[in-house]
Structure 1
Amino acid sequence: MRISFERTGGFAGISKRTTLDTATLPPKEANELPRLVKAADLFKLPEQISSPHPQSDRFQYKLTVEDNGKQHTVTVSETALPETLRPLIEWLNHAAQKKS
């Protein structure tokens, strides 16, 4: 499984990007990432999840997941983040921070 993650926006407008591949992650992380993707039901989420009340200075997240020949991209605003997706976003934010 491979995930490209991008966070844009926020007060400072600093973007964060990372790409993770379970083939190159440590075993614990390589097991955790697919579990979080499955718990988020990511492949069933719409490509765009927008807030009905957009707010300036909020983060925007874009995830592209490739797994077993399937690919799906989801773009979601921080204010519209589904609870099922939150643990994956937090995990990816942490992973991106560690890589930078």
Structure 2
Amino acid sequence: MRISFERTGGFAGISKKTTVDTATLSAQEAKELPQLVEVADLFQLPEQITSPNPQSDRFQYKLTVEDNGKQHTVTVSEAALPGTLRPLIEWLNNRGQGKSEG
């Protein structure tokens, strides 16, 4: 499983990108990541999840998950973040600390 994760927006408008592949993770992380994707029901989420009240200084997240020949991209605003997706976003945010590109 491979996840490309991009966080944009926020007060400073800084973009952060990271890619995580279970093939390169520790055994614990390689087990944890697919569970987070499953809990989020990511492949069933719509491609766009937006808030009815957009706020300019909130983050926007874009996740592309590739697994067993399937691929799905979800773009979600922080204000509209489903509770089931929050643990995955937090995991990816923490994983990407210090590894920003852009």
* Root-mean-square deviation (Å): 0.8
CA shift for structure 1 position 43? 0.2
Partner of 2:70: 70
| In structure 2, C-alpha distance between the alignment counterparts of 1:62 and 1:19, rounded to whole Å | 11
* Alignment gaps of 5+ in structure 2: none
| In structure 2, C-alpha distance between the alignment counterparts of 1:82 and 1:70, rounded to whole Å | 22
Q: Which amino acid aligns with 1:64?
A: T
Ranges of 4+ aligned residues in structure 1 off by more than 4 Å: none
Secondary structure (helix, strand or coil) at the match of 1:87 reads helix
Deviation string 1:5-57 (CA, Å, 9 cap, x unpaired) is 00000000111100000011111111100000000000000000000010111
Partner of 1:82: 82
* Alignment gaps of 5+ in structure 1: none
| In structure 2, C-alpha distance between the alignment counterparts of 1:62 and 1:54, rounded to whole Å | 16
Secondary structure (helix, strand or coil) at the match of 1:74 reads strand
CA shift for structure 1 position 2? 0.1
Q: Which amino acid aligns with 1:84?
A: T
Secondary structure (helix, strand or coil) at the match of 1:13 reads coil
Secondary structure (helix, strand or coil) at the match of 1:56 reads coil
| In structure 1, C-alpha distance between the alignment counterparts of 2:6 and 2:94, rounded to whole Å | 12
Relative to the length of structure 1, the TM-score reads 0.97
